[in-house]
Amino acid sequence: MICSLCASPDCQHFFQDRRRDYYRCGLCDLVFVPAEQHLSSRDELAEYQLHENDPDDQGYLRFLNRLAEPMLQRLSADSQGLDFGCGPGPAMSLLFGEAGIAMANYDPLFAKQPELLTQQYDCVSCSEVAEHFNQPSQSWPLLLSLLKPGGLLGVMTKRHLGLTRFKQWHYKNDLTHVAFYSDQTMEWLAHNFQLDLELVSADVALFRSRPAC
């Protein structure tokens, strides 16, 4: 089994439940579901359409603020950004807009505008998206290519805490979740892509690309 993020062959079977197997990489510590057990594109879309992410829901906005607030604290007022994986009800851009920061919306299913992926931004938000990456080895380089030198990437995804907690972890039960990161995985990403990392909370990580020399 090859790691879907770092391509290391040092992967061991980690856990099995009634529906899926999970493998853990010995190099980057990603826990991942093998590709043959991923949902089909059709079934994946059907699952996403069941999510209730309403931009008028104050509870949902409070949830997104767990990522938006630490990002906004670290951005200048003239920043321009992109919400990567905005879903069917874009809301992150509303929170940034209230702070005076223009943010475009991109989603491969609900707001597919490929031209937005040919530009670079001062900031990119990625909220509850990274766990859906079917091919993290391709998705992370794409995500990071969107940052200007010195740009800020904010990622919100729950991080795994080892086997004992994983067995009871509700987060793995969503069949669209196929990649699970730990603190070590985030540190591997920072080292591999030459980023500065700040772990703000149990589910929020901030990456800063380094300024051009």
In this predicted structure, the answer to whether residue 213 has a pLDDT above a threshold of 70 is no
Determine the pLDDT at residue 57: 78
Using an 8 Å Cβ cutoff, are 179 and 20 in contact?
Answer: no
Rounded distance, CA 179 to CA 138, Å? Answer: 13
Range with lowest mean pLDDT among 27-36, 41-50, 63-72, 167-176: 41-50
- Sorted by where each starts, the structural domains of the chain and their CATH numbers stand as 11-209 (3.40.50.150)
Among the listed residues 74, 75, 94, the one whose alpha carbon sits nearest the alpha carbon of residue 83: 94
What average pLDDT is seen over the chain?
A: 94
In this predicted structure, the answer to whether residue 40 has a pLDDT above a threshold of 70 is yes
**What is the mean pLDDT of the segment spanning 4-12?**
98
In this predicted structure, the answer to whether residue 56 has a pLDDT above a threshold of 90 is no
In this predicted structure, the answer to whether residue 194 has a pLDDT above a threshold of 80 is yes
Paired sense of beta strands 179-180 and 195-199, if any: unpaired
Per-residue model confidence as pLDDT tens digits over 83-139: 999 988 889 999 999 999 999 999 998 899 999 999 999 999 999 999 999 999 999
pLDDT band with cut points at 50, 70 and 90 for residue 212: confident
Q: If you compute the radius of gyration of the chain from its CA atoms, what whole number of angstroms results? A: 17
Rounded distance, CA 191 to CA 107, Å? Answer: 27
Rounded distance, CA 15 to CA 13, Å? Answer: 6
